[in-house]
Structures are given as structure tokens and as C-alpha cells.
Structure 1
């Protein structure tokens, strides 16, 4: 089984649903916040809050991706269950709606950016008690590295911490450090678009997932603050005239549509990608520092998830996090790739919902059973 017979990029660009790949999830509030004064800034961070519920979540995205890459989680928590949750998504510096300054990036600096946004939107109170336990942090890949830094900066504000498909450092495991770094660099090395997109898909997702029919749960009509697809005025005649979201032929084709929409978007920055990549390469948390995160946040509040088929950050990195932090809950998922937010979406959303409920209970915001 391989990707030799899947739909091509050219065919996907002509697919009627090409412009439907990114959903029109309208935020409850949004803005741009100047951050990093005294830290090389100010620079602007684009953010959105979806939902109006009391359970406050921040989803921290990984390398080279927009905040809209969390759309399946944003839809589920911030729209379908908007009265229960408030969901913050933001673009890390270097990508999307955020500024892309030419300077040294680090996961700690990006975490400090996120802290300023969290304070700005009211998810944490800088003048309140240090043990408010007011926010649930979810980070994937580079976002998981940033989340480790958040755990060092604001441990008492964290109701729960979810570290997904991430690492304390890119280490000389199997695959080696050079193979792990090459997997990221290969995302932007010049090559034919077909080879590039196919290679990216294979590094992020398991082959078994990619070849299956499209299984996305698209927004249902009438979902709170979800609008119809946004299609450009100059879209080709083949573009769907349907007033709602349509399906693709396979999970791979949906990924291709999302990837090509991103690459065509002027907010995507190769410079920003490279600067984020450097931040990933320099991220490091020792065994002792990981244990200290467990102590400070509370192991009963921490979840670690990794897939055995992850070709971006190999599974020994996830096992190290588990062995060092000793979280109360952890999953090494057989056959799963680097993006459970899509590949195991229903399971992932439910697992996170249960973890959030546990964090709320530990924080005294739900009746004890």
C-alpha cells in the first residue's frame, strides 16, 4: 500500500471542494496583540477566541501551521459545545496572522508571547492568585515544546496540560537526530510540488489513514457561528456551487487541499518556517526539568500522547516524556502518525474532553463524586 495511485495535486486544485478545506469558523472575539516589548518587539500576535463557556482552553500549534489547523477541535469545543468551552487559538510568531520578524526565535520566547495573549483575553489574571488553575493547555509538536515552556512559566495557572506528539529535545535516537531534523527540513527543500506534498503527508500521517475515504466531520448547518465556505471571486468554474461544505475523495486529498490553500496563502512565510524550525532544534528540557514540570503542574493534570507511526518526532521522544514526567495519563497509540487532531479526531477530542473535566474537578470547579 502506497500513495502512488492517489489523487494528484493538480486534480485536487480542480476539485469542486478545494476552497472548502478550511472552514469558516467565526470567532466570538479576535484581534492582534503587540507583545514582546523589551524582548525584541513589539511584534503582533493574531488570536481568536471561539465559544463563551467557563472551561478555558488554549491550543498551541506546531511548526509552519496556521491556527486554523486546529479547526476540528475549534469546531467541536468552541462551536458545537460553545456554552461549555472558550477556545483560544493563536498564530505563533513567524506564521499566519502574526508578525514574522527576522530575529532569533525560541520556544520560550513563543511561550512568553502566548502568556501575554492569555492575560490579554482574560484566561489568566497576572494580578490574581498564582494557583488559579484557570487554563487548559494543549500543544502538538512544536506547540508541545512551547507548552513545556508554559508549564515552567505559569504552572499554577494550568488546570491541565496535554503534550501531543512532541519532545523535550530532538535527540540522537532511532531515527537519529539528523533524520528527525531532515524530516522537518524536507518540508521546504525545493522539489516538485507533487513530491513535496506527498512527502509532507507521509511524514505527518500514517499511510493507512491517508488512503481511506475522507472521514472529516464537516460542520453541520446551523452550528453556532459557523458560516458557509469562503470562495474567492476568481475561483475556477469547477468550484462547487454548493452553499455548504463538501467531502473529498480521500483523507489524503483533504490534506492536499488544506496544504495547497496554505502554500498559496500570502500569510505563509518560508522565513518564518525556518525561524520556527531553529527554535525546535534548540528546544531542550532535561530529565530533571521534566520531572520538575510534573511536580509543579501536578502529574494528575498531565496527559502525554504519541503515535508509533510518527515520522516527524519519533516515538522514543514520547516515551522519554512519559518516563521523565510520569504523567497520570499517557497513550502510545499503535499505528498513529504525527497529527491525532485529524487522524484520530473523535478519540482525540473525547480524550481531551475527559482530561479537561478531570482538570476542572481537581481545581474544585465541579462537584466531587
Structure 2
């Protein structure tokens, strides 16, 4: 499939569909700071081969979507949630199965709370509760905090940024499985070279979340699957466990040794879980 540029409230976003448009739709929302390439093409095609229309897209300030002046994003987290609705509108999809990773798992939760009519089901990967609650969750690991507080990149130099992002990917992988540096470097390089302005992604660190909904997670009305790795250094496993406990009838899948994100070693498992989850929702 070819990339397709769409316009959402005057904002240009780059999208890409896979599969048959008559199949049940699955909207993939990658974490902030990452373009749609992090939903790797092989993963998307595997999901489409299971009988799903799959759509991935670049967030603002990533990939080929709109970019803003560095340090002046001009949008909020709430706007990014709205972008997901805009993508569905552009494809004339009334509601979709929504899969979110990391911070975009939080976006998916907010979408289900604010626009449940647009969400058929949720799959939340490597993420944490999006709204406040009476809970105590563990902080990121010491190694993760050490990296984000000390590692630096020259954002005017693509090679420096690539090295930095590969090192960050290694930390996110959690350290319990072999790290494929060659594959990580290839993905990061393609992401940097494809971007309109690869340095603009730093705007994601500046955006305000916007007004959060007052409803608790227990108000989420759609079938939810929580997928979490035991070696996630950003959001330790207890974050996923909290989601599964608070969202009504949520199911959970624990990936032994997996870090933060969607690792190639888990594609088959995750794709199978998404297909089963969305099929069960359709049957219900």
C-alpha cells in the first residue's frame, strides 16, 4: 500500500493502510517520539493477513506529518488524541479496534473514555494508567533514568541522533534478551532519513497533556487487552497490572523477558492476540 496524506482540522498527517478496506479496522498508534515506522511493515502485513484493515500514521512532528518550530509545538496531548479520530474520519471508519503503545497507550485510553463510540476494542502495550487514581506504581529502572538524564545527542547531526536513538532502543529493550543492534540501527536510520525534520520530534517533550477526563478507568466500556513485558524499564510490569485491574473485564498478557515496545521476537504472539481479541469483540 502507498502512504496517504490526510488533513485533520487543517493539520497534515501521513498515514498508511494495509489489507482490505472491507475487513475489520485496526488503528495502530505508536508512542510519542516515534513515527509510524516503529509499527514495522512486517508486523502490519502480518496483522492484515489475518483479515484486518490496518492503518498506521505519523504523529505530528514525526515522519512526513506536519512539523512545528522546535520548542513551539502549538498543540497538546488532547490534540494528538483528536488526530486519531481524524484518521478514522479520513478513512470513513465509524469505529476501530485501537492498539496503542507506551504514551499512545495512554492516548488510546483517553480516546475510549472521551469517544467510546469510535472504539470497538483496546489493546494497550507497554503503557500505564492515563488518569489519576489511588495507586502507587514503581518508577522507571535506575538504568533507564541514568540514560535519560545523562545521554546526549547533537540534534543538528543525523549520525549523532542515530547513535543516540540506537542506544535508547537498547535501554528500552530491558537487557534480558539479545539486542539486535543492526536491526535497530536500520530502523532508526530509515526513520531519521524519512523525517521532514528529525529534530522536531523533541517537541513531544514540550507538549501539555491538555485537560484529562474526570472519569476513572473503570468507565472504559470496551473490551480491553493489556500486553506488558516483564523487563519493561520505563513502565515496570505493575503499571500493566494496574490497568488490567482497573479496566472492567480487561484481559492481560505478560511477555516474559520483553522490554518496552513491540519486539520482533513477539510479533507472532502479539498479532495472534490482537486478532483473537478483535474477533472475540466482533462475535460479541
Does the alignment pair 1:43 with 2:11? yes
* Closer/same/farther in 2, CA of residues 177 and 350 from structure 1, 3 Å limit: closer
State whether residues 106 and 276 of structure 1, in contact with CA within 8 Å, keep that contact through their aligned partners in structure 2: no
Give the gaps of 5 or more residues in structure 2: none
Q: 1:352 aligns with which of 251, 274, 279?
A: 274
Does the alignment pair 1:65 with 2:26? no
Q: How does 1:1-369 map to 2 (within 5 A)?
A: 26-27=1-2, 30-36=3-9, 42-52=10-20, 53-70=22-39, 71-78=41-48, 80-81=49-50, 84-101=51-68, 102-124=72-94, 134-169=95-130, 173-175=137-139, 189-190=153-154, 196-211=164-179, 251-271=180-200, 273-279=201-207, 282=209, 289-293=216-220, 296-297=221-222, 301-362=223-284
* Closer/same/farther in 2, CA of residues 186 and 138 from structure 1, 3 Å limit: farther
Q: Deviations over 1:92-141 (max 9, x none)?
A: 111112101233443321111111120120111xxxxxxxxx41100111
Give the gaps of 5 or more residues in structure 1: 1-25, 37-41, 125-133, 212-250, 363-369
Q: Deviations over 1:200-250 (max 9, x none)?
A: 122221334334xxxxxxxxxxxxxxxxxxxxxxxxxxxxxxxxxxxxxxx
* Closer/same/farther in 2, CA of residues 56 and 180 from structure 1, 3 Å limit: same
Question: Highest CA radius of gyration, 1 or 2?
Answer: 1
CA distance in 2, matches of 1:56, 1:194: 33
Q: Deviations over 1:69-113 (max 9, x none)?
A: 2123211123x34xx221111111111121012334433211111
Q: Deviations over 1:135-168 (max 9, x none)?
A: 1100111221221121123213322111110122
CA distance in 1, matches of 2:145, 2:83: 25
Q: What is the CA-CA distance between 1:31 and the residue it aligns to? A: 2.3
TM-score (norm: length of structure 2):
0.82
* Closer/same/farther in 2, CA of residues 277 and 178 from structure 1, 3 Å limit: farther
* Closer/same/farther in 2, CA of residues 188 and 313 from structure 1, 3 Å limit: farther
Q: Deviations over 1:12-62 (max 9, x none)?
A: xxxxxxxxxxxxxx34xx4222223xxxxx221111221114211100011
Q: What is the CA-CA distance between 1:194 and the residue it aligns to? A: 8.2
State whether residues 210 and 252 of structure 1, in contact with CA within 8 Å, keep that contact through their aligned partners in structure 2: no
State whether residues 167 and 321 of structure 1, in contact with CA within 8 Å, keep that contact through their aligned partners in structure 2: yes
CA distance in 2, matches of 1:158, 1:173: 27
CA distance in 2, matches of 1:308, 1:201: 16
* Closer/same/farther in 2, CA of residues 104 and 322 from structure 1, 3 Å limit: farther
Give secondary structure in 1 for the equivalent of 2:184: helix
Give secondary structure in 2 for the equivalent of 1:267: coil
Q: What is the CA-CA distance between 1:329 and the residue it aligns to? A: 1.0
CA distance in 1, matches of 2:28, 2:150: 25
Which residue does 1:227 correspond to in 2?
none
State whether residues 137 and 162 of structure 1, in contact with CA within 8 Å, keep that contact through their aligned partners in structure 2: yes
State whether residues 229 and 258 of structure 2, in contact with CA within 8 Å, keep that contact through their aligned partners in structure 1: yes
CA distance in 2, matches of 1:63, 1:165: 13
* Closer/same/farther in 2, CA of residues 361 and 73 from structure 1, 3 Å limit: same
State whether residues 107 and 145 of structure 1, in contact with CA within 8 Å, keep that contact through their aligned partners in structure 2: no
Q: What is the CA-CA distance between 1:266 and the residue it aligns to? A: 3.9
CA distance in 2, matches of 1:186, 1:98: 29
The count of aligned residue pairs is: 272
